[in-house]
Amino acid sequence: MDYPKEWPESLKNIIDKAYKTNKFTDIRNALKLVKGQLSANNEKKINIGILRTYTIETLIDCLQLSLSAIPCRVNITLGGLDSIEQDLFDKESSFLQSSLEVIVILWRIEDLLPKLVWEVDSMSLKERRDSYNMLIERIKRIVEQYDEDAPLIVSTFFVPDYWKNSLNDKHRGYGIIEIVYKVNLFLYRYATLGKIRIFDVSQWLGSVGNSALNEKMNFFARQPFDPAYGLSFADSFTKVIRPLLLTQSKVLAIDLDNTLWGGVLGEDGIENLNIGKDYPGSVYWRIQQTLISLKNRGVLLVLLSKNNITDVTKAFDSLIMPLKLSDFIKLKVNWELKYKNLKEVAEELGLGVDSFVFLDDQKFEQGEMKALLPDVKTISNSGDPLNILESIVNSYYFDSFSIEKEDLSRNKDYKNQINRKKLEDTLDREGFLYSLELKANIESVSSVNLQRVIQMILKTNQFNLTTRRHSSSTVNKLISTKGSILITISLRDKFGDQGVVGLCIAVKDDTCDGGLIVDTFLMSCRALSRGAEDVLWCALMKYSSNKGYKILRAEYIETNKNMQVSDFYSRMGMELENDKNATQYILDVTKEINFPSWIDVSFAEE
Amino acid sequence: MENNKEKLYNVVSEILGVKKSDINEKSSQDNIENWDSLAIVNMVTELERAFDVQFDILEIVEFYSIEIIRLILIEKGVKL
């Protein structure tokens, strides 16, 4: 298990013990200490609301403990048993009053369709089908009607323990098992539309086994899960919550010998390396395939190997294997310490070392990285190839709900970035900017680019003036609010198309006639220092004067990651507001607007 | 056996969030506020593990005082 690096060893041991024993007292004890640690570190807070058709009260400590390691301070609000719609759609419900940031629905087939589950043998095919349709209609109503800001996470259904061994049920149309699977497919489809996120309780049960179901507790307290599986359940829950709070890592830096193939190139020679279709080479083959699929999802791969580059090139040329040297965005094959190489790569790519994940089979390399670059996430493993494979597959650093166009082109994009750097070194600043042949397109936020907009809202930390993490329903509301301005910028130059790289949201200032307030202004870090942020700002000026605004207000909200933009508003010519605190700015928007001359700007619509 | 009694009182006091010295033969749902069905679920799980026994569903329904829990445990061969 991974813990925040600031946590003391003693605390980690106490949590490990709780995970080992699953005992009430050990869990409660660990939770108490963790809570102390979280408030000492002043970690972010999150309010999670859970609606459910069954009892989970005894699992709350487990959920709290598991979620704490994200790290965050969790507050869980439970809805009443079986009151999903009442709690969700009654705006006055005490459930909705708790300013929830995530809403989760946990449900079971036997609670929603008790007649079907317990009297199925007296029902005709038509009646069973009607029950199914009724449930689908109910789910549809919930998902379509849902309009809260908080993302909606919905659990999958699982086959009741009672029915899992029934032969007959599997051979009739619209049996219980068939209905459970059909409903789950329906949920997955909603998930692909981005309407809900899935908490796959059914898959979790499949992996831990039905012994996690405790019929005694179910009858006595309507609690389906055995408390001994509480932490396992909680970890599976945490996996769905984590991507909402953490930014995804971007780069995987990988060792070569005994990580991508079996054996040591310099000692064993190319012909004795293990990589191929037979064990153990087959495990390394699968590791390489896993890395390629990470790359295809937008993760940048960097090779960190203590070897001679000529040997490595020769090996990649002559061995048949999934990975090619060209799959790596950077090769650091030399005899330097790995942390130094990693730091260099980070600088070359213009990324913080905290976007890096490090994978190496050797304990001392793992330890050295942890000690010298603690912000890098090191994937712990024993060095055994199967363990390396599992540790990559199970690590959550690259978890995300959806993959956008910008993820898919990231590899190409950073290659272009490296080429841009080369060009920059040969020209003066102005010559360089003109030679890029930059083209920017300003476009309003709409359903077409909404997913990308949300992704940027959740992921952008550095060039983000306010770091407001809006949900898609908030953004939708802002789109339809009269007088608001929501625009994106996409950027293209002679090296390639970067897609949507910046966002600005401004809303009407109700306290001031003709006033507008900047709600959000952010740029992806790979688009910086070429003037794109100035273009987006000028576009905001242009749109606001077109809409008749006269005064623009803005606020800089400091976080521990956005220091680089602390002077952005004053660079854009804004004045500090006198009698307010030092982060509020004001500007007369009727001033002349000067777009950067080296960028060709177009507007998709106005 | 003092050890088992200790064990029983430990589990019950920690789950109910009261001092061990406040637990005695007469402790029950009537005089301890937190002794709800939730606490019972936790007690059942923890006592099953602590004493390596299984309670059946009819026994759980009776988990409303130390005296009865003790009797049920004795029936299962626990020396108390």
Residues in chain A closer than 8 A to B38 (CB atoms):
55, 57-58, 221
| One-letter amino acid for residue A333 of the chain | V
Q: Do B38 and A216 touch (CB under 8 A)?
A: no
Strands, DSSP E only, in A71-126? 73-81, 102-106
Interface A-B: count of C-beta contacts within 8 A: 44
At residue A578, the pLDDT reads 66
pLDDT digits (tens, 9 = 90+) for A126-182: 999 999 999 999 999 999 999 888 899 999 999 999 998 899 998 999 999 999 999
CA dist., res. A133 & res. A503, Å (int)? 42
Q: Do A25 and B49 touch (CB under 8 A)?
A: no
At residue A132, the pLDDT reads 96
**Candidates A22, A26, A55, A57, partner chain B, best to mutate (most B CBs within 10 A):** A57
- B63 to chain A: nearest residue by CA? A220
Nearest to A25 among B14, B37, B57 (CB): B14
In sequence order, the 6+-apart residues with CB closer than 8 A to the CB of A223 are A54, A55, A56, A57, A58, A59, A214, A217, B41
Q: A508 pairs with which residues across the strands? A: A516
Gap from A60 CA to chain B (nearest CA, Å): 11
**Among candidate residues A603, A570, A606, the one with its CA nearest the CA of residue A440:** A603
**Chain B positions touching chain A (beta carbons under 8 Å):** 11, 14-15, 37-38, 40-42, 44-46, 49, 55-57, 60-61
At residue A6, the pLDDT reads 87
Q: Do A221 and B38 touch (CB under 8 A)?
A: yes
**Chain A positions touching chain B (beta carbons under 8 Å):** 23-25, 28, 55, 57-58, 216-217, 219-221, 223, 226-228
pTM for the model stands at 0.80
Nearest to B41 among A28, A221, A228 (CB): A221
A125 burial type by CB count under 10 A (0-12 exposed, 13-18 middle, 19+ buried): exposed
CA dist., res. A174 & res. A194, Å (int)? 28
Residue A426 to residues A8, A422, A530, Cα–Cα distance (Å)? 49, 7, 16
Gap from A216 CA to chain B (nearest CA, Å): 6
Strands, DSSP E only, in A146-247? 152-155, 197-199
At residue A606, the pLDDT reads 46
Sign, Cα dihedral of A402, A408, A411, A417 = negative
Q: Do B15 and A24 touch (CB under 8 A)?
A: yes
Residues in chain B closer than 8 A to A228 (CB atoms):
45
CA dist., res. A430 & res. A597, Å (int)? 10
What order of strands is seen across the sheet that includes strand A515-523?
Answer: A575-576, A584-588, A551-555, A515-523, A496-508, A485-493, A438-444, A599-603
Q: Virtual CA dihedral for A515, A517, A518, A520, nearest 10 degrees?
A: -140
pLDDT digits (tens, 9 = 90+) for B32-74: 988 988 899 999 999 999 999 999 988 998 899 999 999 999 9
For every residue of A274-300, which 3-state class applies, written as one string? ECCCCCCHHHHHHHHHHHHHHHHCCCE
Residues in chain B closer than 8 A to A219 (CB atoms):
57
Low-confidence ranges of chain A (pLDDT < 50): 606
Cβ pair A433, A427 in contact under 8 A:
no
- A21 to chain B: nearest residue by CA? B49
At residue B4, the pLDDT reads 92
**Candidates B10, B45, B52, B57, partner chain A, best to mutate (most A CBs within 10 A):** B45
CA dist., res. A152 & res. A601, Å (int)? 38
CB atoms closer than 10 angstroms to residue A583 = 15
The answer to whether ipTM exceeds 0.85 is no
Nearest to B37 among A24, A221, A227 (CB): A221
